[in-house]
Amino acid sequence: MNLERVPNEEKLSLCRKYYLGGFAFLPFLWLVNVVWFFKEAFVKPAYDEQPQIKTYVKRSALGLLFWIAVLTTWITIFQHLRGQWGEVSDYLSFTIPLGVE
């Protein structure tokens, strides 16, 4: 969808949908929201719906950062310690790498 051709009210409703959707443990929606609406929120000349879009984009970005932090920490810990955890890490893994502890 090309945002250029969409009326402003619809932009706002789209942006809100993506923002709310992200709460369903879908951080990628927030990522899309941030990338897609960044120009609308911060670059375009002001219009009525812009302040609200701005808040949604900011909050999406915040949530995205939170997810990145959590996932990075977990992945780092898991990859480092999976060998030591033994049984637990096998049950946590979807694909068990071959020939690795």
Partner 1 sequence: MGPGFAKWIITVAFCWLIQIASGNSVEQKIYVELNNTVPCVRLLNATHQMGCQSSISGNTGVLHMLETDSDLDIILRTGPHAPYMVLMDAGFFNSSIMLRMKNSTRIAGVAVVIPNSGPLEGFSPHNTCPNQHTGVYSDSYGPRLADCNGTIWNRLGNGLSFEDFKFPIFSLKDDNQTGVIRKCVSDHNMGVNGSTPAFPLCAMQLFSHMHAVTSTATCMRRNDIQNNYSLNPETVCDPLGDYNVWAPLRPINSTEKGHKANESVVVAATRLDGRTFFWDIATGAEGTVAGFVTLLAASQALKLTARQAPPPRNILFAFFQGEAFDYIGSSRMVYDMENNNFLIDLENVHSVLEIGQVGLRRGSELWLHTDPVSRRNDTSVNTEVEKLLKNMTSVAAALSLSLAEPNATQPLPPSSFQRFLRSRQIPGVVLADHQSAFNNRYYESVYDNAAYLNVTYPSDLTPEEQLVFVTDTAKALAEVATLVARSLYLQAGGEDSQLDNITADPNIVTQLLYGFLIQSNNSYFRSLTNPEDKSLLESQAPQYYVGVPITANTIKRSTRMVQYLLANYIGNPTSLNQSKCQDPSGMPGESKELYSYLWVRGANGSEPSPFCVRSTVRRTHAISPAFELKQYDSQTYSTWTESRWKLIRARIFLVASHELEMLTLGVGLAVLLLSLFVTYFVSTKADLIFAPAQESTGTAY
CB 79, min distance to partner 1, A: 16
Per-residue mark of binding to partner 1, 77-96 (x: CB under 8 A): ---------xx--xx-xxxx
CB 89, min distance to partner 1, A: 11
**CA 12 to CA 58: how far, in whole Å?**
14
CB 69, min distance to partner 1, A: 29
Burial (CB < 10 A; 0-12, 13-18, 19+), residue 94, is exposed
CB count within 10 Å of CB 37 equals 23
Judged by beta carbon, residue 25 or residue 94, the one nearer partner 1 is 94
Give the footprint of partner 1 on this chain (CB under 8 A). 86-87, 90-91, 93-96, 98-101
